[in-house]
Amino acid sequence: EIVLTQSPGTLSLSPGERATLSCRASQSVSSSYLAWYQQKPGQAPRLLIYGASSRATGIPDRFSGSGSGTDFTLTISRLEPEDFAVYYCQQYGSSPETFGQGTKVEIK
């Protein structure tokens, strides 16, 4: 099983600032099958990024993903008020699919 470790656990930032979230895998993620989701309280996760760097339909270009192998990054170039949420990475290249423990982006 591939274990995904996200850091930091919590990121305290102000609107307009840049957010950089990390996701490290315990072994190489097959074919960069790495996704990022955003989850707000009481809501289902929302797919942001797939294939490590491709934005899902309707996702603003302030969200970008990068990385390969075992190290992946989600960057939010300028935080908007609606971006404060919990973010999860997920590998879906090998079974069982696994999620990271999440990074909370909170308002400073």
Partner 1 sequence: QLQLQESGPGLVKPSETLSLTCTVSGGSISSSSYYWGWIRQPPGKGLEWIGSIYYSGSTYYNPSLKSRVTISVDTSKNQFSLKLSSVTAADTAVYYCAGRNGPDPFDYWGQGTLVTVSS
For partner 1, the binding residues (CB under 8 A) are: 1, 33, 35, 37, 43-47, 50-51, 56-57, 88, 90, 92, 95-102
| Phi and psi, residue 31, nearest 5° | 50, 30
Q: How far is the CB of 10 from partner 1 (least distance, A)?
A: 14
Q: Which 8-state DSSP code applies to residue 28?
A: P
Compare residues 17 and 94 and give the one whose CB is closer to partner 1.
Answer: 94
In terms of Cα–Cα distance, which of 93, 81, 71 is closest to 21? 71
CB of 61 to partner 1, least distance (A): 18
CB closer to partner 1, 37 vs 84 = 37
Q: What is the DSSP letter of 32?
A: G
Of 54, 34, 11, 105, give the one whose Cα is nearest residue 63.
54
> Would you say 44 or 61 has its CB closer to partner 1?
44
Least Å from the CB of residue 47 to partner 1:
5
Question: Shortest approach of partner 1 to residue 94 CB, angstroms?
Answer: 11
Alpha carbon distance, N-terminus to C-terminus of the chain:
35
